[in-house]
Amino acid sequence: MTYSAFLDRKMKMYRRRKLIPFYTDRSEAPLVRAGTGFHIAISAMGALVLAVFALVTAAGILIFLYIMFSGGSLL
Predicted local confidence at residue 41, as pLDDT: 78
Supply the range of the domain harboring residue 26: 3-70
Per-residue confidence in pLDDT tens, the chain, 75 aa:
565 666 566 666 665 555 555 445 555 555 556 566 677 778 888 899 999 999 999 999 999 998 888 876 665
pLDDT for the residue 25: 54
Whether 75 is covered by a domain: the verdict is no
- Rg, C-alpha atoms of the chain: 28
pTM, whole model, 2 decimals? Answer: 0.48
Question: What total number of domains does the chain contain?
Answer: 1
Asked whether residue 48 is domain-assigned, the answer is: yes
